[in-house]
Structure 1
Amino acid sequence: MTAVTVEAAHQDTAHDLEIVVPGLVFDPVEIRRAHQQFLDRVPPAPSGRPEDRFRRLGLTHRPGAEDPWRDAGTGQFDQVSGERRFEEAEFSVFNEELSDTYFHHILSSLPFRVGRTRLVTLHPSEIYHMHCDASRVAHLAIETNEDSRFLYRAGTTHHVPVDGRIRVFNTKLPHSAYNAGASDRIHLTMTLVD
């Protein structure tokens, strides 16, 4: 990222809704392979329920986290009180059980710092509530369909194609995401540390 682009990635202006990170293109085949490696290695959920195994998973965690796989899965703000639970910079450790994957290469190549790094799946007919984040979020599509979109309250939508490029969205503005397609939408999401 050039200095100008890094500067733009930290502004709160509506005209910078999506920024494609210049100079970085990752191999979609290797990204899918890393995703499969991730899925193969995820341990059982603490609840013991098979349906919880793939919920709230992350690639980064806080130092000393009890569960490095799920530490990044919690939202930064409590939905009821609005209280901030943590700072993004706390998620400074990459899960060592994934250090041989392409995901580690991707994070090592970024020209900016990230905190929580997660694999987020939106199943068909799922939608997130409208919300604002404290920081911008970078997205890298692993699987998608044309009817899966990122949505700003103002009505602007963005489709993130599987092209190996990272897109930084101004998630400080009210936004949502939905999957109106027939297949899963899977993104690697990386929250920028401002």
Structure 2
Amino acid sequence: MIPDLYHGTNQHFTRFKHDIDTRATHGASADVGFFLTTSRELAGHYAHNAMKRLVAGDHAGHERKVADLVRRAELASRRRDHDLYEQLTTEAEDLEVAARDQTHGMRIYAVEVDARNPKTYPDVGQLDLHEMRRMLIDDFTAGHDAVIFENIWDPVSIEMAYPDACNHVVVQDSDLIRIVSFEDLEPLQNESVSSPTW
């Protein structure tokens, strides 16, 4: 068991699942597994990052609604029903603007991982994300159920001048992750979220 881990996001759920694409980062290794950290503070920064990029609560559901409105608008346009096209397009735009103006929903999950065969890399330091992706794929293919990067500096920690390296644990099988608790965070003062560009 690997206890005392954190995951920061603005998505609200009761268990980790692979069927929802709610990554707020799109680094080379982001799609290989679930990233957890021993640093609560760093998890908070990831939650803040997610708040700026994802719709709070149910990003995937929001994206399905918008995609459906856009699809229906395109059909209306082909039928030359300009009034319906305008109505549906406006509705999709309003949903996007309202969603991007939300500055709430940041959450830190405290979790533990039931890893039986983890691979540990000690004293990693800074690591190229493409190299990390290759390592993760190789380790998961070799049968490891978790990969632990000890004392790693990730791009967010470097960007925010985070003073200490911390450990990251990457897990592919979401069933190994157990949520212990969560904490909702308040947005930073004077926080603004940019509206989408069309």
Task: Name the TM-score class by shorter chain.
Answer: under 0.3
Query: Bigger relative contact order, structure 1 or 2, given CA contacts below 8 A and separation 6+?
Result: 2
TM-score (norm 2): 0.21
* Higher Rg: 2
